[in-house]
Amino acid sequence: MIKNNIDRILFFVNSVILLLLLISYLAPKIHPDFFWHISLLGILFPFLLILNTLFAVYWVISWRKYFWANIVIIVLGLPYIDNTIANQKNTLDQKEFSQLQKNKKHQFDQLINLMSFNVRLFNQNENIDDDKIENKIVEMIKEKKPNVLCLQEFNLTESTKELFDAFNYKKNNDNKLQIFTNYRVIKSGYIKSKNICIYKDIVLNDTIRVYNIHLQSNWVKTMKSSYQNRVNEALKIKKHINKSPFPVIVCGDFNDTPLSYTYSTLKKGLADSFQESGIGIGNSYVSIPTLRIDYILHSQKYESYNYKKLKYKFSDHYPISCDILIP
């Protein structure tokens, strides 16, 4: 009798969570101008998925038929699960790449390493109790030696000026977004604001347009406008991307989850390096272990390998990197 009462309560709770999970699937399809509250469920999606999975296991163990509802709704969300959890550990080291180039079809291919990192002003506001963060970030970047480096929330100081020297830059500026590279740059520009999206056209064996993005952050008091403004920024950037005369790499801090209108807008027609060569949940925000809001997207003609979340707690974001094969 007691177990039956407990099961009734659990069934009710499970039904509510199932309904929320089902509604969360609409987050990438509904513009926040129409109904912004659904966007919040995109953040909760991993938790809702885990809870429903646990309920399914419980119902199976209890020999209750209720588990079918959990299974069906989880299966309906498989495309969104694929955006959140990756199991594609595609690797390509330098030795394997050298072997690949021996094939005439690939003899002119290039493998570039790209890193994206929101450095949070290099701890200027002392959010982390470590006065050496600035130097540690610079040293980490020098050690990793990315071919293309996209930084968000950049802050120009004596230490960070070393990055301009490391990448042979003649011009120093304090824009909050930076794209560093030693490849030849033939054009630079920005969309809407130098602090929202910048781009550079770099020349390898192919000309590539690299975008570095930092979309509006979430604030509790202005949550509705944050979602709306972020989507409008993404739509404007996507319009520019669609007109690019070159293949693209799009990276940065989108401040939104894979189950969002923002991500679905920017990702359309592009490949996600995390899905291509990542593994696990891929969280990029330090405080929330299920939250991925930093991305490296690229044209589908390219292949990405060795996606990594670099486990340095130098900011409220982890740096992310991958290798991209340019045919």
The rounded mean pLDDT for the chain is 89
- 252-287 in b/e form (b: 16+ CB < 10 A) is bbbbbbbbbbbbbbbbeebbbbbbbbbeebbbbbbe
- CATH for 88-326 is 3.60.10.10
Chain region(s) in the chain for CATH 3.60.10.10: 88-326
pLDDT of amino acid 95: 75
Kindly state the percentage of the chain with pLDDT values over 70: 94
> Mind listing the pLDDT tens digit for each residue in 198-207?
999 999 988 9
* pLDDT exceeds 70 at position 264: yes
Q: What is the pTM of this model?
A: 0.92
Q: Which residues are 149's β-sheet partners?
A: 115, 180
What was the pLDDT predicted at 105? 67
Q: Residue 181 above 70 pLDDT?
A: yes
Question: Regarding predicted confidence, which is higher, 75 or 158?
Answer: 75
| 8-40 pLDDT per residue, tens | 888 888 899 999 999 999 999 999 988 888 888
